[in-house]
Amino acid sequence: MERLVEGLAGELKKPLLSPLDPEVVVVQSQGMEKWLSMELAGRMGICANFRFPFPRALVDSLLDAVIPEASVDDPYNPETMTWRIMRLIPGLLDDPAFSSLRKYLHGECSSLRFYQLSRRISAAFDQYLVFRAEMVLSWYQGKEDHWQAVLWRKLGKDAGGRPHRASLAVRFIDAMSEDRPVNFPHRISLFGISTMPPLYLNILYAASAKTTINLFLMSPCREYWGDIVSHRKAAQIVGRASLKEGEGDPDLHIGGENSILASTGEAGREFIDALMELPLVEETELFEEPEGASMLSRLQSDILNLKERGEGSCAKITVPAADLSIRINSCHSPVREMEVLQDILLDMFEKDRGINPGDVLVMMPDIETYAPFINAVFDLPVGDPRKIPYRVADRSSAHDRLAVDTFMAILDLPVGRFSASRVMEIMRSPLVARRFQVDEKGLGILEALIRGSGIRWGLDEASKAAMGLPPGKANTWRSGLERLLLGYAMPGFGEAIFKAVAPYDNIEGKDSQILGSLIDLIEKLGFLEKELGLPHRAGEWSAILGAVLDAFFPDGDGGSLRKLKDVVSGFILVEEHAGFDGLLELPVIKEHLKNTLQGEALGRGFMDGGITFCAMVPMRSVPRRVICLVGLNGDSFPGRSSSADFDLIASSPKRCDRSRRKDDRYLFLESLLSARDTFCISYVGQDIKDNSTIPPSVLVSDLMDYIERAFVPEEGKKILEKVVIRHRLQAFSPAYFEGGPLFSYSRADLEAAKALCRQSGGETPFISRPLNGQEERYASIGIESLSSFFVNPCKFLLKRRLGVNLEGADAAIDDEEPFELAGLERYKMAQELLEKEMERQDLDSIFPVKKATGELPHGTMGRLEYFSLAGRSRDLAGTIEDFISPGDESVATISLELSGLTISGTVRGIYGSRIIRCRNAAVGGRDRIRLWVELLLLSCCQPERGPIAGVLAGWGKGPELMEIRAPEAALDIFSELVELYKEGLKAPLRFFPETSWQYASDVASKGASPEKALKGAVAAWESQYGKSREKDDPYIRLCFGKDIPLDAEFQRLSLKIFAPLISGRSA
């Protein structure tokens, strides 16, 4: 390729007729344009006043120069033709020739199906104009009567005889034989083109009669290679199952050619054959032997000279141990591919200071899949010694993708269920949030308001009725917004309703702006629900979609919205250019937008500095010292062309036809030849679950086969053991730090590997030794915090002292109305009803309020659930009515200094000499330890109260009541708890309230032996049906791992904490 640049630079030094005329250099990718312009600038000192059109753009400009009407509102433009076909097909379905289309459309003649079919037909016709020009010309002359020919003639008549590309080419070629001046560029150069439709070749050849056309083309082989075939093809020719190595057929002369070139070069071979059939004026060869003696250079030389290494006189070559010019890496996942690539590049940069990140090109078949993993691995903080500058090309900017994704999400919402989570997802878009003036804090408030007001789905009762559902208002947006507005105006305290609306009480005055933004958003979305649900003409859709952009996106953001606005305004042209005035439904509009907006970023960011990560597209390979191909999996590369069943090109292929599979194969060859120092491949070759082998792309397999035939390692092992590296599942595997072919530059992974090596026996504890220091930070604690400590000592230690939060984000907003009360929601309502019953409120009068809030299941089920809980609350309250009297509750404010610790706070729910605690659920160890801490503390701080007790009421199989008397030695017992608290701030305590209560009650209450009680505790710990499931608590699992932590220390602590409580209780 570098020799071609030298040849082009030499040609360009010849001056044009006018110094103001631009140089026209035709390329086939933006990446080639950028690389070529930099190379020319380096050789010529400057690269200015150049045009780099693609082949189609050049052909269009040539046609336009000769036939002015060629570029005026082309009715055969694929997009325009789609709408024209969609307009014409319905009137043709009764024609017998269209029976296949009629059957295809039978039963589902929606506008979306018509659009999708029309688009595929349009795409096929567009390819026919380029690759089957003679066929469409014969159709127009009346030949053939199948449906495609009939439809084509109908399109031609509908276009009023306007010319298409095939007829323009005929007129152009005829005009080139005439003696009349044309306004062509003085010189046209085609650079690096590896394939081109024959129609374009004929146009360019005809144009060469009027201007100079130079072709700078890269051929992988200096010998004639037009007839070579791969081993597989040769086996098919001779009718065998396979062709043995080195065996050629003496009559057919099959064999001896380079197998890599034969299996990958078909696309380039067809193009060169077509080119050779043209009577070229002059041909100059610029072939050059690859420099160096590395394995990569030798392989490139074999391709150049059409040699099959390892056969006949081409003996195998010995590869020195230091030769790593070809590397193949088998990994478990895309993220491991990126981690391995990072280490390989760091190793290259360290060993060869002449290589810099700009010398590295990394290509992959699917850039969208790999882009997140690229950023996850390579986007390191400044100062990290492993940081390498890089750029991910062929992706639109995050801002552009955000605008498109948000726009499509808005179009999806009104015609769906209008779910709360989808609305919140739209509002979280930075563009929409900025339009409605909601910041990050406001989004949190907004989510809380949506949750609290009971909004689930549906705009209002009418939208539910439109879906064939009962038109209830509960849990709709209208219901929720009414609750929020009424709550802002007046409080309901959970007890009052106004015209069947229950005010939402947890809204403050400062939330008014957030509420206003939400109402504004819902009103705009509600308007869209009506508009988007109806069919409209294309021009009307343009206005509606433009209104969406104005309503939901901020002003002054033209950079990211310009493309959207251009596409939306383009709907007007559907009526003007295609004459389509039919009604279109929203699914058609969304499909058109998706098709129009995809693929806009191809070429963006290519070679913008640092390592370039980009998509594998034809004509993308440019010379680089290091070329890496990742993601070459057996199921993804080479790709397969997707063609319609009626595609006549696919059913009868010809030379130079477009083929994704042939293009990908040739791209692999170009990449291999473009690498100057290193050619690196990676693929997912091991199953992430069972480590079983997954085959790579067939092209990688062919390359490995050739390497095995052509090379032998100096160190005596098999060559593929040197070239192909099977990597470990985890980057912190100790194998990467033991020397050999596996290595890593990650210090964090090194420390993790050391930790793995240090392990012997069970798991290493998360906290392996007591924490020291910072005792002064915890010298003061509230009563509630002390109780929380004993409820879960591991959680308290990790969360309060170490700042480790394992609880994750809040659950997603629920989009389903409640069908039953269960879990936490059931407990909350049961507890609330119990408290109201204890306050002597009428629970029957609370039912309309709960129904209006949307907390209850709809209909009879909700009524049954509510009154079941209400009855239970009355029964439970009746068990403690002898202990309490409304208005007699007292609150104790206490403070105690003990062992250098200050405990302070308030104890509520004191009635006379008892602390009353009620739980409208089964009572557990957590409830007991909370009451025990408060009881001991109150007894220590206010001895003047005399003997006090704690009453704990709960609901098991029925009402349950337990009374606990404060012991005389309350201060001593509480002092022991304080010491345990201090210990628990340094290391995890083996105290788990539910399991510890099981053990302690068996020993201290039932008289069981420690061994028997421990078996019962283990059974409770392991039980799948226990109410606690303490073994699954993330904080406990982090502290103690998978081992059961019920040892002698657990037994000691359980009895030390719970035995005094058990001795003082009475049922």
- DSSP secondary structure of 717-736: S-HHHHHEEEPPSSTT-GGG
User: Which whole number is the average pLDDT over 134-145?
Assistant: 91
User: Which whole number is the average pLDDT over 858-865?
Assistant: 89
Q: Are the C-beta atoms of residues 245 and 709 closer than 8 Å to each other?
A: yes
User: Which whole number is the average pLDDT over 91-116?
Assistant: 83
Structure tokens at 365: 């078949």
Of these ranges, 10-24, 246-260, 671-685, 880-894, the one predicted with the greatest mean pLDDT is: 671-685
Amino acid at position 1051, single letter: Q
Identify each DSSP E strand in 817-900 by its residue range.
Answer: 889-898
Q: How far apart are the first and last CA of the chain?
A: 92
Q: What is the pLDDT of residues 348-357, one digit of tens each?
A: 999 988 899 9
Percent of the chain with pLDDT over 90: 39
Residue closest to 801 by CA, chosen among 1030, 619, 985: 985
Residue 243 has pLDDT above 50, yes or no: no
The average confidence (pLDDT) of the chain is 86
Q: What is the pLDDT of residues 327-353, one digit of tens each?
A: 999 999 999 999 999 999 999 999 988
DSSP-derived 3-state class of residue 290: coil
Alpha carbon distance 164, 81 (integer Å): 11
| pLDDT score at 554 | 87
| pLDDT score at 108 | 59
The pLDDT confidence band at residue 533, using thresholds 50, 70 and 90, is: confident
| pLDDT score at 399 | 57
Residue 703 has pLDDT above 50, yes or no: yes
User: Which whole number is the average pLDDT over 890-905?
Assistant: 90
Residue 238 has pLDDT above 70, yes or no: no
Alpha carbon distance 715, 702 (integer Å): 24
| pLDDT score at 244 | 47
| pLDDT score at 1027 | 53
User: Which whole number is the average pLDDT over 742-759?
Assistant: 87
| pLDDT score at 937 | 93
Residue 1002 has pLDDT above 90, yes or no: yes
| pLDDT score at 242 | 47
| pLDDT score at 774 | 67
Identify each DSSP E strand in 787-938 by its residue range.
Answer: 889-898, 901-911, 914-918
The pLDDT confidence band at residue 618, using thresholds 50, 70 and 90, is: low
Query: What are the structural domains, with CATH classification, of the chain?
Result: 1-71+189-218 (3.40.50.10930), 75-161 (1.10.10.160), 319-397+604-640+659-732 (3.40.50.300), 416-532 (1.10.486.10), 537-600 (no CATH)
Q: What is the pLDDT of residues 547-568, one digit of tens each?
A: 999 899 888 655 667 888 888 8
| pLDDT score at 628 | 95
User: Which whole number is the average pLDDT over 958-983?
Assistant: 91
**Preceding peptide of 638 cis, ω within 30°:** yes
Q: Which long-range contacts (CB under 8 A, 24 or more apart) does 649-658 make?
A: 649/124, 649/127, 649/128, 649/131, 649/132, 654/131, 655/198, 655/270, 655/273, 655/274, 656/131, 656/195, 656/196, 656/197, 656/198, 656/270, 656/271, 656/274, 657/131, 658/127, 658/131
The pLDDT confidence band at residue 241, using thresholds 50, 70 and 90, is: very low
Residue closest to 428 by CA, chosen among 454, 455, 409: 409
**How do beta strands 675-684 and 624-629 pair?**
parallel
User: Which whole number is the average pLDDT over 1022-1049?
Assistant: 82
Residues 6+ apart with CB under 8 A from 9: 40, 43, 44
Segment holding 681, helix H or strand E: strand 675-684
Residue 906 has pLDDT above 60, yes or no: yes
| pLDDT score at 994 | 92
| pLDDT score at 230 | 62
- Tracing tokens 């390989």 back to the chain, one arrives at 344
pTM over 0.85: no
Of these ranges, 464-478, 516-530, 609-623, 980-994, the one predicted with the greatest mean pLDDT is: 980-994
Residue closest to 55 by CA, chosen among 604, 595, 618, 647: 618
Q: What is the pLDDT of residues 286-319, one digit of tens each?
A: 888 888 889 999 999 999 999 888 776 678 889 9
| pLDDT score at 763 | 62
Angle at 1030 between CA 1028 and CA 1036, to 5 degrees: 155
CA distances to 273, 397, 409, 441 from 517, in Å: 66, 28, 19, 14
Q: Are the C-beta atoms of residues 934 and 977 closer than 8 Å to each other?
A: no
Residue 640 has pLDDT above 60, yes or no: yes
| pLDDT score at 626 | 95
Strand partners, 329: 682, 725
| pLDDT score at 109 | 56
- Tracing tokens 């042209």 back to the chain, one arrives at 573
Residue 255 has pLDDT above 70, yes or no: no
User: Which whole number is the average pLDDT over 682-702?
Assistant: 94
